[in-house]
Amino acid sequence: MRSSLFYVIFAFVVLVNNGLSIAQDDGFVFYSDLARDWYQGGDYFEWTSTTEDNNAAKVNVFYRTWGDESKPKLVLIHGFPNSSFDYYKMIPYLEDEYHIAALDFPGSGFSDKPLDGYNYMLAENAEIVDHFVREVVGFEDFALFTHDRGVSIGLAFLGNYLDNPSPGYTVNYHFLSNSGMFLPLANLVPFQLSLLDADAGERMIQARSAQPRRTEGEPESLAFSDIFAFNQGNISLLYVGRYLLERQVNETRWLENLLRSPVPVAYLWGLTDNVNPIRIPNHVWDTYLNDREVESSFWILPTAGHYPQRDNPEEVAKIVRMALTDQIPDREAESEFMRRYGGSRAAEDAVFVGRSKIEELDFPSSIEYTPSGYRLID
C-alpha cells in the first residue's frame, strides 16, 4: 500500500514539476536538453476527433506559449514531418514583443500518435486550430504563421474563418512560408512518395524504427531525434504523411481562399528549397496574391532552404515584425521601398519582391527615339 501511494505521489510531483496536465510517455528518456526543456515548458489539451473513420477518438495535444499575455498575439503552425520545435530559433527574436502560441498536431511532436489506423486529416487540423485559439489560449485577435504542411492547414482554417459570420476572433495577418502548397510544381522525394504506398511505407518505417536511437551528437539533430522517438513518432510518420493525398484534392480550393480573404499576407520563401522550388511561390503569388487589393508582400530569403525559420530566424522575425508594425509599403510606395531597403540589405537578408503591374511607360523626356537617332522634341 505504501509503495502504491508513493508511486501516485511521485507521478503527481513529476507532472507538477513538468507543468503538464496529462502524463505522456512516462518512461521516455531524453538525451537532448533542448527537447526535454521544450517538453517541460508545455501543456496538453484533449481533442475529440471529428473525422468519421476515427470514431470520436480522443487525443492529447501538446502546446506551448511564450511572452507577455498583454502583447499582440502570434500563432505558429508547424509542418511535416516535424513539430512546433521547428520554431525554436525564431521565437527568442519575437517573444519580448509578442504573446506566442504553438501546438503539435496529433501524430507529431509531443502530442499523441495513435497507430491503430488513425487518420491525421488536414481539414480536422484546421478545426483543431480554431479550438486552440478560442478555447485553449483564448486569443481574440492574432496573426497566423504557417509552414509546410501547416500552410494547407492554415488555408483550410482561413476558409472556415471566412465562412463563419461570427468566429469569435480576428485573424489580423497571415504568413505563408515554404510549402508544397501547389503539388504540380513540387519536387517530391522518394521518402514522401513511399508514404503513399501502404507496403512500401510500412517497410520504410520498419527500417527506420529498427535503427538505434541517437544518444549524442549535434544539439539540434539530437533534439529532433528525441522528438521523433517520443510516442513512436517514427511510426506515426506512415500515417501523417498521407496528407499529400488530401492536399492534392483540395489545394486549389484552399488557395482560392486567398483571393477572397481580407487578411493581409506576407509570403516568405527560402530560395534553396529543392523539394519546394521557387516555381511554387512564383505561381501562387502571380495567381492568388499579386492582384489582391489588400496588403500582400513577397519575400525571398536567398540563403535559406526549406526551413527559413531555422536557417535565418532573425531575418524571418524581422519580416514578421515589419508586417505587424505597418512597415510594408503600399503599391505606390513599393518602388521607393525596394530601392531604400535593397540598398542597405546584406547578402543573407530577404529580398523584397514588389507586385507586378505592367503599364505603358510615359517618360517625362524632351528627347525622342527615331531610327535615325535620338532627337530633341520641339
**pLDDT tens figures, 59-87:** 999 999 999 999 999 999 999 999 999 99
Q: Give the integer Cα–Cα distance in Å for 176 and 254.
A: 13
Lowest mean pLDDT among 208-212, 299-303, 371-375: 208-212
**CATH number of domain containing 205:** 3.40.50.1820
pLDDT band at 22 (very low <50, low <70, confident <90, very high): very low
Is residue 156, in this structure, part of any structural domain at all?
Answer: yes
**Side chain identity at 282, as an amino acid letter?**
N
Whether the predicted pLDDT of 26 surpasses 80: no
pLDDT at 24: 54
Q: Would you call 117 exposed, middle or buried from its count of C-beta atoms within 10 A (0-12, 13-18, 19+)?
A: exposed
CA max distance for the chain: 108
Sequence-distant (≥ 6) Cβ neighbours of residue 226 within 8 angstroms: 30, 31, 32, 35, 36
Is residue 136, in this structure, part of any structural domain at all?
Answer: yes
Looking at the chain, which runs of residues are DSSP E strands? Answer: 43-48, 58-66, 73-77, 99-103, 141-146, 170-176, 265-270, 296-301, 351-353, 367-370, 373-376
Is residue 65, in this structure, part of any structural domain at all?
Answer: yes
Is residue 160, in this structure, part of any structural domain at all?
Answer: yes
7-17 per-position pLDDT tens digit: 333 333 333 33
pLDDT at 2: 37
pLDDT at 156: 98
Is residue 17, in this structure, part of any structural domain at all?
Answer: no
Q: Give the integer Cα–Cα distance in Å for 31 and 217.
A: 10
CB 129 within 8 A of CB 122: no
The rounded mean pLDDT for the chain is 91
Within a 13 Å sphere around the CA of 279, how many CA atoms are in the beta-carbon half? Answer: 8
Cell triple for 80: 511535416
Cell triple for 370: 527615331
pLDDT at 11: 37
Is residue 140, in this structure, part of any structural domain at all?
Answer: yes
196-226 per-position pLDDT tens digit: 998 988 888 788 778 888 999 999 999 999 9
Domain membership of residue 58 as a residue range: 30-376
pLDDT at 137: 98
Q: How do 99-103 and 43-48 pair as beta strands? A: unpaired
Percent of the chain at pLDDT above 90?
79
In the sheet that holds 141-146, the strands lie side by side as 43-48, 58-66, 99-103, 73-77, 141-146, 170-176, 265-270, 296-301, 351-353
Question: Who has greater pLDDT, 122 or 24?
Answer: 122
> What is the count of structural domains for the chain?
1
Sequence-distant (≥ 6) Cβ neighbours of residue 156 within 8 angstroms: 122, 123, 125, 126, 250, 254
Is residue 185, in this structure, part of any structural domain at all?
Answer: yes
Angle, helices 149-163/122-131, rounded to nearest 10 degrees: 60
Is residue 272, in this structure, part of any structural domain at all?
Answer: yes
Inter-CA distances, 145 with 102, 178, 229, 313, Å: 10, 11, 26, 13
